[in-house]
Amino acid sequence: MKMLKRILLVLAGLILLIVVFLFLLEIFTAGHPPSKRTVCRHHMLNLGNYVLLYADKTGRLPNSSRWVKEVRDWLPDDSTREWYARMLKCPEDRSNSETSYEMNPDLSGRRLAEFENIPTSQYVQTVLLREKQFPGSHGWIVYLDGHAERLVKSTD
């Protein structure tokens, strides 16, 4: 009987230690936001997807000088427009510009059909969006196939 009590006491102690460890782990790891570089990359990937969805539905890419407005006006509802508006700025961009990103002017208004017969290697290397230069910019670029790369080293 004494042996059973000792085993139960040891198990209870181990469980208590695990609970305390998990509690402390939660305290020290919770609330850490993703890095600003990650946020900018995430924003660019989502914006690139919006531009590509717009192009898929309309048959052409937006005008590069009006892409923000064209895509926003095409979005189906206010909640989607609010989400879109939050993604237009990288957290480190303190400029008064509406967006931290710009669309490749060479793709302005082009029909998607123009890209059907180009080699995959060229399609994958065609820049769709790029991050504007501002203090703390990370050099993100989103390509026409939807992938993102960072071309310049970050300062963080």
The single-letter DSSP state of residue 61 is: P
pTM for the model stands at: 0.70
pLDDT tens-digit map of 4-55: 777 767 766 777 677 777 666 666 655 555 677 788 888 888 899 899 999 9
Least Cα distance to 103 among 69, 62, 75, 135 occurs for 62
Least Cα distance to 74 among 93, 89, 52, 92 occurs for 52
Would you kindly state where each structural domain of the chain is located, as residue ranges?
A: 36-150
Least Cα distance to 48 among 132, 129, 149, 140 occurs for 129
> How many CA atoms lie less than 13 Å away from 135 in the CB half-sphere?
2
